[in-house]
Chain A
Amino acid sequence: MIRIKNLHKSYPIGKDSLHVLKGIDLHIKEGEFVSIMGSSGSGKSTLLNIVGLLDEHDEGEYYLNGQEIKNLNEKKGAVLRNKFLGFVFQSFNLISYKTALENVSLPLYYKGVSRKERQKIALDYLDKVGLKDWASHLPNELSGGQKQRVAIARALVTQPKVVLADEPTGALDSTTTDSVMDLLKDINNEGMTVFVITHEEEVADQTKRIVRLKDGIITSDTINVQRKPVKTV
């Protein structure tokens, strides 16, 4: 699903440039639940941005769903993002003046789905994250965990190939963290490829594969066998 070869990325800082990714090789197959671990400055967010087509790489090759990503303009990037990718951000990135339902149905609008159809699908996905009753609420009327669940519903609504989550629990307390992670696990169990960026061991522990990043280089890539069991009461 995602194949990366010798990926480099650097940012200009004044006259110098900061070399953030120094040759990343990574292959993520369909249905995987991968977490990228690393401290801040390790390059993990940059990697996610490149994988999510929000940023461009300098060197190396990147194949998304078999298609080489190269010299994308904004228009093509937008179409690919809409078709293949769903995003979950640390700061939720919900549009403040739109209700939960409108936020969830927005990707469908850009996909060209009719209004009626959009609302129906969006409501289904809100139901799936347990927020059907909150459909008409604005983001500032929701708790942090609820906001993130709305964001997850929005990421899923177009049935993308990959869900990219950038520190999805970074702004949440431990209880809501668990509920959000449970949701991501459920999605993965349904066959969706999930790609999580985190610096929290507890979060990474709940994924199936942990890739550790340090100073722009992958230091370890392990299958996580001791997965914490899903909480049962």
Chain B
Amino acid sequence: MFDLDRWREIFQSINKNKLRSVMSGFTVAFAILLFTLLFGIVSGLKNTFEGAFVDDAVNSMIVRVWKTTKPFKGLQSGRRIQLKNPDYDYLADKYDSKIDLMTARIFKNFSISYENKQDNYSVTAVHPDHQFLEKTIIDEGRYINQLDINESSKVIVIGRLIKADLFGEKPALGKRVNVGGISYKVIGVFSDDGGDNEERIAYIPVTTSQKLYGNNEYLNQIRIGYNQDLNLDEAIAFGNLIERDMKSKLDIHPDDQSALSVRNMAEGRKGVDDFMIALFFIVVFIGSGTLIAGIIGISNIMIFVIKERTKEFGIRKALGAKPSSIVGMVVQESVLITTIAGYLGLTLGTYILSLIGNSLERDYFIKDPSVSQGLVIGATFVLIISGLIAALVPARKASQIKPVVALRAD
């Protein structure tokens, strides 16, 4: 219920006891300020870690091969391992239920030319799923599709910077470029968040590469996007399974990491997740400690304030004030101060975060530090409740003191 007279009483009381009000407000505001800054910076730290994974799909793993370093089953060390189409098909068939996306990769380097301009670029032969595993962003046209694979089409998707190099402002789509002496049709232009180097690449279909350059079934890497339903532990286990399976299929010693390895994003992801969980608990501990310190601060002040006002309450009661009116007055005053101070602390904290956000990102790898709306509302709510309790307990006690005793107080 809105009681204008009650509010007048409260504002008068706050106004006449400025130091006291400012002190209790300061305690709360400072606690909330620290709380906001702490959570903001930690969330910035979290953003940084998550940003590190933004370039590639988080659920991906790469099967890579090189040379054996251990003899196995009568085979000498130093044997060169080569992935081939049957390996790709084997994995695709056997683990179909756990695989969402899959692509092979063949790395080439070609001179690409258009009209009188030419330069050397990395050309990667891929399957259509590569687009999602690499998080390639199509700016114009389209990516390699299954039809291109089936027909071994001579089509090419070029990076934004290749387009800039060779075509400038002119349109590239549908034009023919010369790739290592063979004419390809440009079907798409892409960009990538991974940086300039990843935009200076061209993609062609796997089958085209195999047919035109060596006429073999060789593959350099197999990249797999595991099913999103797998949790991190299951994903890591799946990566290990593939590694063991491929090693036995290709007659590689189980401990030979050089000959074949699976680089699983889930492993790095797990490390970061564990770290973030630990950090979260530390922050919750410190953050709630800060809040509790603020709450204890205002409780102390309220106890003192109420003690100081005991005589005044006695006078008011002698004049006909009911205990509830005294409790209500004190509680309302306390809640008002905590709410306003809490809001100030919060606003100041958010403002400081936005102010230092840029320099933090530049100098300390803390990206976009901010606090979530839910956290803000939660903290404010906690404060209002604690302001209420901090005042309610001593005020009820004071309101029950017999007027004759209260009047004697100084």
Contact = CB atoms under 8 A, between A and B. Distances in A.
Contact of A111 (B13, B320, B403): B320
A75 B407 contact: no
Interface stretch (B215-223, B310-318, B361-369): B310-318
A87 B5 CA distance: 23
Nearest to A107: B319
Contacts of B393: none
Contact of A82 (B13, B315, B319, B407): B319
Contacts of A54: 318, 402-404, 407
Given A54-B402, A74-B399, A97-B16, A89 B319 contact: no
Interface stretch (B116-124, B157-165, B289-297, B321-329): B321-329
B359 interface: no
Given A54-B404, A55-B404, A74 B322 contact: yes
A96 B100 CA distance: 77
Contact of A75 (B4, B316, B324, B404): B324
Contacts of A115: 4-5
Interface string A163-204: 000000000000000000000000000000000000000000
A109 B324 contact: no
Nearest to B403: A54
Contacts of A81: 317-320
A77 B17 CA distance: 29
A79 interface: yes
A158 B320 contact: yes
Contacts of A110: 316, 319-322, 325
Nearest to B325: A110
Interface of A: 49, 52, 54-56, 74-75, 77-79, 81-83, 87, 89, 93-95, 97-98, 102, 106-107, 109-111, 115, 154, 158
| For the complex of A and B, 10 pairs with smallest distance between CB atoms | A82-B320, A97-B16, A110-B320, A54-B404, A54-B403, A55-B404, A107-B319, A78-B322, A49-B404, A74-B323
Given A54-B407, A82-B320, 11 more contacts: A77-B317, A78-B321, A81-B318, A81-B320, A95-B315, A97-B12, A97-B13, A110-B316, A110-B320, A110-B325, A115-B4
